[in-house]
Structures are given as structure tokens and as C-alpha cells.
Amino acid sequence: MTTPLAGLLTGIIIILPGPPGDPGQPATPEFGPPVVAAAAPEGSRVVVLPGVGPTLTAQPLPSAGRQAGVTLGGARTDLSRWKLTLPTGSQGKPREIARPNAAASPDRNWFSASPDDGIVFRAPVNGVTTKGSKNPRSELREMTGDGSTPASWSSTSGTHAMRVVEAFTHLPTGKPALVGAQIHDAADDITVFRLEGSNLYVTDGNNPHYKLVTSSYQLGTPFEATYVVSGGQVRAYVNGQLVATLAKNFTGAYFKAGAYTQANCSNSSPCSPANYGETVIYDLQVTHTR
């Protein structure tokens, strides 16, 4: 059903640095020194998404070269400045958790630590949704300070970046579509990383197919997705390679990451918890500079 990923190697992990700055563009914020190569557990491998360079996959993923207090391993990633929305609660008012902890999750069906030290996000097609959406989510929303204040920034002031190492691991049947990371403003989503079947896209507003990153994504493959926003532009990178640039002026913005299932009981069957979208996040970092 999908084309095998190219460049399969064994015995080494390549951990990529933050994406390079574009010529003539503001420099990309530094996310920590790169680790060119590291010894990998037996069975670990480097895989290549067609056209976008190497990405890492291993069990467990090593921790190295990251910001103080944040290690490459989702269950240990600092989520103190995030709020979690779960697909439970009452319709239009899903359960929200400030400063969530995957290792001590109150609902392991939809948010939990994975065996390979990531964070699992799962949202069933029959889950509770937010007031403005028909689709369920198990998703993080960027906050500030002690995690109690919603983040809100502008595309024309400062430089704002999010990097996430993530794998799509399960798609709903009927409508196999899932969002893994996004930028949202005060009114709507600006752009998202969206998987439909084996097609990985960067979207532009209401255009879900703005940029096809690869048509051969295989479920379970971790990759590095990065957004950098400055000067009225959004630049999207996959594995350190620029894949899309969008001219956008917006305010009230914030980052989101997790599993936002793009299906519900009206367009996907069966209508049950067994039909869901799922991602695993291994690393999540956000920086803001003036």
C-alpha cells in the first residue's frame, strides 16, 4: 500500500540539529548542540523520508544535546508550559489538564507514556470535541509562565519556533486523516502537519494539501517537524530541510502538538473508541525571541 522508505541503514542514530536559517532570512533559534552520531541499541536504524533527508527511529531514543531539563524522551519532556485537551468530558467542554504528566496520566486510554519513552496521544472518532470543532483531540496547547496563561504571539514581532520529534502511529478508518502539530491564531489554524493515508502534508489555512512532503510515509516512523515564524512568514521544515514558506500576518498565536483526529462518527466507521488517531511525541521544544 505504501512505498518502502529509502535508505534503510542499521546500527546508528543520526540526531539532527535545529533547521538551518534561510539565506537572507532571520536565523533559526538554536535548540541545542547537534549530535552527529550516537551508538544505537541493537535494531535501531536510520530511515529516510523520500526527498526530505534522514530521520531517526530507535527504541529507546537517546537523550543528548538538548536544553537543560528537557531530554529526548517524551515521558521526561517538560510539559509545564502546556495544557492538555482530552477527548473526554461533556460535549463542547472537553477535559483540560494544566501541566500534564504522561508518567502519571489520569486517563491512559488517551494520554500516556509509551514503552519507548515517548508520549502517546490518542483521540477516538466518537470522542468529545471542543466547541469550535467537529473532531476530537488529545492535544497540547502552548501556555506561558507557570502554565496557567495562554500563549499569544504575533507573526510580525519576534521569532517563534517549535520543534517536535513525532511519529504517526494509527489512523482512523473511513477517513484516515490526522494532525500531529499546528500553529493556531486567535480564530483558526494557520498551518498544520497533516497525514492522510501515506501522504504527509503541510497545510495553508483551509487548503489541506498545500505542500505534499512525501507520499510514502509509513506509520510508526519518527520525523522532526519544525515551524519557524518571523517577519510575517511561516517556514516549515522536515528533518532540517525547508519544505514550505507561507506569507502570513496573524496575532493571538500559539503552538499545538499531539493527535487531532480529522474524523468523527459522521464520516468514519465504526463509531467507537476502537476507531482512533494516534501519535507518539519523543521531543518537544518551543523558543521565542524578540
Domain ranges of the chain: 65-289
Q: What is the pLDDT of residue 75?
A: 60
| Nearest-angstrom CA–CA distance, 280 and 147 | 22
Better-scored residue on pLDDT, 281 or 71: 281
Residue 68 has pLDDT above 80, yes or no: no
Amino acid of residue 267: N
pLDDT value, residue 44: 35
Provide the mean pLDDT of the chain: 80
CATH number of 65-289: 2.60.120.200
Tell me which of 12-21, 51-60, 144-153, 201-210 is least confident.
12-21
Mean pLDDT computed over 3-18:
30
Instruction: Give Cα 241 distance to the centre of its chain.
Output: 16
pLDDT at position 115 is 86
Q: Identify how many contiguous H helices and E strands the chain contains and give both numbers.
A: 0, 20
> Residue 126's pLDDT is what?
97
pLDDT average, residue stretch 200-205: 98
What phi, psi does 252 have (nearest 5°)? 65, 30
C-alpha to C-alpha distance for 98 and 119, rounded to whole angstroms: 16
Q: E-strand spans in 99-188?
A: 111-113, 119-124, 137-144, 149-150, 159-170, 177-184
Please give the average per-residue pLDDT across 12-21, as a whole number.
35
What's the confidence (pLDDT) of residue 281?
95
Residue 97, pLDDT above cutoff 90: yes
Q: Does the pLDDT value for residue 46 go beyond 70?
A: no
Q: Do residues 138 and 121 lie in contact, with contact meaning Cβ atoms separated by under 8 Å?
A: yes
Task: List, in sequence order, every residue forming a beta bridge with 286; answer none if it has no partner.
Answer: 162
Average pLDDT of the residues in 107-123: 92
Q: Cα separations (Å) of 150 from 84, 112, 180, 182?
A: 12, 23, 20, 16
Tell me what the mean pLDDT of segment 219-243 comes to.
94
What is this structure's pTM? 0.79
Cα separation of 285 and 88, whole Å? 26
Alpha-carbon radius of gyration of the chain:
18
Q: Which residue has the higher pLDDT, 254 or 33?
A: 254
Instruction: Supply φ then ψ for residue 102, to 5 degrees.
Output: -65, -30
Residue 142 is predicted with a pLDDT of 98
Nearest in space to 124 (alpha carbons), one of 219, 260, 257: 260
Tell me the C-alpha distance between 78 and 81, whole Å.
8
Confidence of residue 76 (pLDDT cuts 50, 70, 90): low
Residues 142-191 have pLDDT tens digits of 999 888 899 999 999 999 999 999 999 999 999 999 999 999 999 999 99
Q: Report percent pLDDT > 90 for the chain.
A: 66
Output the nine-digit C-alpha cell for 16.
Answer: 539532527
Residue 71 has pLDDT above 60, yes or no: no
Residue 22, phi then psi, degrees to nearest 5: -80, 150
Take residue 68 and report the three cell numbers written for it.
537543560
d(CA 124, CA 103): 21
Q: pLDDT tens for residues 207-216?
A: 999 999 999 9
Helix (H, G, I), strand (E, B) or coil at 255: strand
Q: What is the dihedral of CA 126, 1, 139, 51, to 10 degrees?
A: -160
Identify the residue with better confidence: 184 or 240.
184
Residues recorded for the chain: 290
